[in-house]
Structure 1
């Protein structure tokens, strides 16, 4: 595809665009670190606070209540005050929540802190990819937005490492306190970055939008891209929640909501939150050993996400989704079989091996497909005037499904058995695979305005065809 007027070849890109994307993606570190740190910390929190299995689920899932609230408020916030200021505000709330958790003497104060942290990551989880998608050139947008997912996996891996280093002392407060470091870096970094050019144009600030585009495109002439953005704005009125009911939004909304819910119902965050617990189910009874095994899963998560960042603008979104979900289904089926046969293997060592290999394959499959591509697609398929609100709706659905899965995992494992719960997630994975096959579009190489025009014309998502990557 020939670049739009004003959108330069790759050689014209400035270092600034990479710096801007990397700084914004630190929001992914917040998301990932808090997602992962609870998995090791909960082993010690349960003992100190005397938590029952139900209260353990509440302590783990409380952050998701905040995330749902943050996702609800974040759409309006992102459209009104902008993507940049929303990320700064989320980072400040994250710091406040971390303070509450670190000083908590009992479960109530701990839960308040976790809800505040959840609000912060609920906002950051979709505003960060939204910001990146609106400053990235179309040919590199997939990889740049997926960098946020890579930083999420790095945050998870760092949290596992911190959990392991502090497991001997059981200092779970220090585990949480370390999360303040990326939050401070993000606040400082975002203060130094400009606003999204597309948001600036929607707020009738063309001069500022042009200045930002010149910095990130590496060329003086950005008139063509500004014209395309303005044309998109001109055919729309100011966005409102009722606009999400417009016929042209229905199919993108269905795609976003479907991926949001299915991503979580395949059980990914039960693995992230409860990985040490799962390894203890499989016979690794010491906290240190189970956290160390979990760190191995974290390394695989990072490496697979690196592969996704490289491939998403080459192979496309749909192939990565279909291959990744297929791998998740197989891995979950094998993991369930391992637990079903757990009572018959010698010494439990084979069960531990099956668990480790299956979890690594499962996480790797998620990391090349549903992990990064979901967040990328919801940053691409919605029109500018309701992009923040539509991403908010998809994110609320995602965090709500996350909450339900996290809150019920231990209960389901008790009712269905450890094998049954993973087989249930595998069945959901099969549904997800056919959903992608029938409904998810290919957006590779297309500008946001081209994608928007396709849906405004009332065409089916599968009729949207990506283009070969050119520079």
Structure 2
């Protein structure tokens, strides 16, 4: 097959849908930093001089402001279980975008009304959580098999771009604006502009060919596929790809139309290959969340202070640098590694690197924290950046990619939405428990815990997860026909079973 022609419509589709990652990215960067500005804290009376309760109550309230958005996101992922298959990927994306924009607008202009802030954090979180389900799902279903990893990774590139940008915008507001409502409102209003533009552009897009075909709208699905491939409905390559999609759903028991969520849940529970693939996606979400990823991201300024950075401003600059490192290496991952080296090599290398940096940080926090040991402190700061590299080339993106590509269209939406619900619930738990873990485990214990999770993840995912690079989505089932603990042996055959090849990938 000749290389694909340049296609402005396809590029626009990927860019617009990938902008669904902005709410999550900016929440972890822009909002997390803005909620620590004196202007924000004073407006909501979250400083010691204005707080009337106990110090522990103040700490709990601050954590609630951050974590309620994460809790709302878990609800949004749960809602996506119902709506994504029913109304389609595109309409679900638009629905959740509206929810996030209205919620974040209310957060921006709550004007010190604490109850409205809390409600708006949950409301906007519903939209952000739903988008983390729909956007990767949509991108997976429109991508070619040989470039699927790169296309889905663009979601993470945009997410991390806005996470990093959020830190820099906070720093600019801190340096150039007085501590007032306008200061934090400027920071919070910014991401609504690109998301609003993406929302308008989405009305020029179509739904995914796989979802349309699953709803027995074959003519429309073929037309959309041809447009995505910059060709016509008579093109033999387009017809071949569409036939593969149709073959995957041609049997009555694979059609989505008029199928209830409960029916799909029962199938996943009883059909062995569905169950193994769903649990693999769940395992990836579990290891990703508890390996320290979001525990570090949400509290990165404090972590740099613990590592020996001198001041809060310097810590914020380092936090921005941390986000930039994640962005750069996620781009390297997306455009140079994932579809070349494959998923397995990337996530195992990333987990091993995370584990190594956690071990050093545990030693540093136990032996040298506060000792004015400059070389040890510099190494600790460097290890935080090295951790960002491991996270970026590993589970940061692979967790989304595996969850969307290994399941058939019939159960993909429900299973991935369930996985993302668990993702957000775990993230909520991580955000809430990280400060108490630092306190009760003397910081080093938290790092030791994270190192243990990474080590277990290398072993469990290393034997379970097959290599899916280049395998058509309609043939993923063949990788999971053997025992789960033999998944690692499917990798070599999966590579031979390319999109255009006639050989089938085998389990072992």
TM-score range, shorter chain: over 0.9
Asked if 1:187 is matched to 2:216, the reply is: no
For 2:46, the equivalent position in structure 1 comes to 50
Asked if 1:338 is matched to 2:367, the reply is: no
Q: Write out per-residue CA displacement over residues 175-202 of structure 1, whole angstroms, 9 at most, x where no aligned residue.
A: 2111211220220121111110000101
Higher relative contact order (CA 8 A, sep 6+): 1
Task: Work out which of the residue numbers 74, 78, 83 in structure 2 matches 1:68.
Answer: 74
- Contact 2:97–2:199 under 8 Å retained in 1: yes
Task: Work out which of the residue numbers 248, 251, 255 in structure 2 matches 1:232.
Answer: 248
CA RMSD of aligned residues (A): 2.1
Matches within 5 A, 1:143-222: 143-168=150-175, 169-170=178-179, 171-220=183-232, 221=235, 222=238
Give the Cα separation in 2 of the matches to 1:456 and 1:215: 35
- Contact 1:39–1:272 under 8 Å retained in 2: no
For 2:345, the equivalent position in structure 1 comes to 319
Give the Cα separation in 2 of the matches to 1:53 and 1:279: 19
Aligned length: 463
Give the Cα separation in 2 of the matches to 1:449 and 1:399: 28
SS at match of 2:443: helix
- Structure 1 residues 357 and 80: CA distance shift in structure 2, 3 A: same
**Cα deviation, residue 370, structure 1:** 0.2
**Cα deviation, residue 120, structure 1:** 1.2
Task: Work out which of the residue numbers 27, 30, 41 in structure 2 matches 1:34.
Answer: 27
Give the Cα separation in 2 of the matches to 1:13 and 1:227: 23
Q: Write out per-residue CA displacement over residues 293-346 of structure 1, whole angstroms, 9 at most, x where no aligned residue.
A: 100101100111011112100000000010000000111111222222334632
Task: Work out which of the residue numbers 385, 392, 397 in structure 2 matches 1:372.
Answer: 397
Using structure 1 for the length normalisation, give the TM-score.
0.93
Give the Cα separation in 2 of the matches to 1:344 and 1:165: 30
SS at match of 2:471: coil
Give the Cα separation in 1 of the matches to 2:433 and 2:241: 48
**Cα deviation, residue 420, structure 1:** 1.3
Asked if 1:100 is matched to 2:106, the reply is: yes
Asked if 1:270 is matched to 2:295, the reply is: yes
Task: Work out which of the residue numbers 260, 264, 272 in structure 1 matches 2:285.
Answer: 260
- Structure 1 residues 287 and 39: CA distance shift in structure 2, 3 A: farther
Give the Cα separation in 2 of the matches to 1:113 and 1:129: 25
Asked if 1:241 is matched to 2:265, the reply is: yes
Give the Cα separation in 1 of the matches to 2:444 and 2:483: 44
For 1:4, the equivalent position in structure 2 comes to none
Give the Cα separation in 2 of the matches to 1:356 and 1:78: 42
For 2:503, the equivalent position in structure 1 comes to none
- Contact 1:321–1:370 under 8 Å retained in 2: yes
Give the Cα separation in 2 of the matches to 1:42 and 1:54: 14
Matches within 5 A, 1:426-437: 426-437=451-462
For 2:426, the equivalent position in structure 1 comes to 401
Give the Cα separation in 2 of the matches to 1:71 and 1:16: 28
**Cα deviation, residue 33, structure 1:** 1.2
- Contact 2:289–2:430 under 8 Å retained in 1: yes
- Structure 1 residues 204 and 328: CA distance shift in structure 2, 3 A: same
Give the Cα separation in 2 of the matches to 1:63 and 1:97: 10
Task: Work out which of the residue numbers 420, 426, 444 in structure 1 matches 2:469.
Answer: 444
Q: Which piece of structure 1 moves more, 403-412 or 116-125?
A: 116-125
- Contact 1:308–1:368 under 8 Å retained in 2: yes
Q: Write out per-residue CA displacement over residues 91-144 of structure 1, whole angstroms, 9 at most, x where no aligned residue.
A: 111111112111221332211121122111111112111101111111111111
- Contact 1:92–1:183 under 8 Å retained in 2: no
Give the Cα separation in 1 of the matches to 2:174 and 2:95: 32
Matches within 5 A, 1:1-16: 8-12=1-5, 14-16=7-9
**Cα deviation, residue 291, structure 1:** 1.1
- Contact 1:63–1:117 under 8 Å retained in 2: yes
- Contact 2:307–2:369 under 8 Å retained in 1: no
Larger Rg: 2
Using structure 2 for the length normalisation, give the TM-score.
0.86
- Contact 1:35–1:273 under 8 Å retained in 2: yes
Unpaired runs of 5+ residues, structure 1, are 1-7
